[in-house]
Chain A
Amino acid sequence: DTAVSQTPKYLVTQMGNDKSIKCEQNLGHDTMYWYKQDSKKFLKIMFSYNNKELIINETVPNRFSPKSPDKAHLNLHINSLELGDSAVYFCASSRVPGQSNSPLHFGNGTRLTVT
């Protein structure tokens, strides 16, 4: 009954490769996100999608391409992986915000290691 699930949990790959991380949420949320957490635990937003439409793109290199086939899925594809891409990537979702706060629900992360 996992609310936000992402796969794989661990991903080890070599520089220059292309890889994808998948994310699915079963909460019926309209908005999904990708966050990157570095080795110092700093969390930074990368993208947000609302109903399959890109809303926020935080100056992420165009090697990173999110794809949302439907509002329950937001996948992250990374081309030509670099050492600096090593991090934990978190998918999250939230309801469409109204008058009240709508907290983010995070997945358990994908630890990407580029060698």
Chain B
Amino acid sequence: GESVGLHLPTLSVQEGDNSIINCAYSNSASDYFIWYKQESGKGPQFIIDIRSNMDKRQGQRVTVLLNKTVKHLSLQIAATQPGDSAVYFCAEKRWYFGNEKLTFGTGTRLTIIP
């Protein structure tokens, strides 16, 4: 069946270092891949997305890489800060009976060590 999964459930990174969060997906028909950040007690917040016909997209301190050959997605966060500590979800969006459907992965907890 379709799934969006993550390689690592937890990740600890020293403040100031770069972090990479990985995600594997199985559905090749997805239109977009999206990263969300969820802080404690809050709802998921959109970070960045990438269309399925792209392989790289950059934002402010974040870069998303998409490797369709191996169905792998990653989120790179540069110069991590304490505020980056959160659970990060990858998600895939595809059309479902004429409407969009978003399927989330299981999440990776990122902890920034001061």
Contact = CB atoms under 8 A, between A and B. Distances in A.
Interface of A: 4, 40-45, 48, 50, 55-56, 90, 92, 97, 101, 103-109
Contacts, number: 52
A55 B32 contact: no
B68 interface: no
A103 B34 CA distance: 8
A50 B107 CA distance: 27
A55 B11 CA distance: 37
Interface of B: 31-32, 34, 36, 38, 41-46, 49, 51, 87, 89, 93, 96, 99-104, 106-107
A101 B106 contact: no
Contact of A109 (B42, B49, B99): B42
B61 to A, nearest CB: 18
Contact of A43 (B46, B89, B96): B89
Contacts of B102: 45, 104
Contact of A45 (B38, B45, B101): B101
A41 B45 contact: no
B71 to A, nearest CB: 19
B46 A103 contact: yes
Contacts of A92: 43
Contacts of B31: 101
A101 B44 contact: no
Contacts of A40: 106
Contact of A42 (B45, B51, B101, B107): B107
Contact of B106 (A4, A41, A50, A109): A41
Contacts of B100: 97
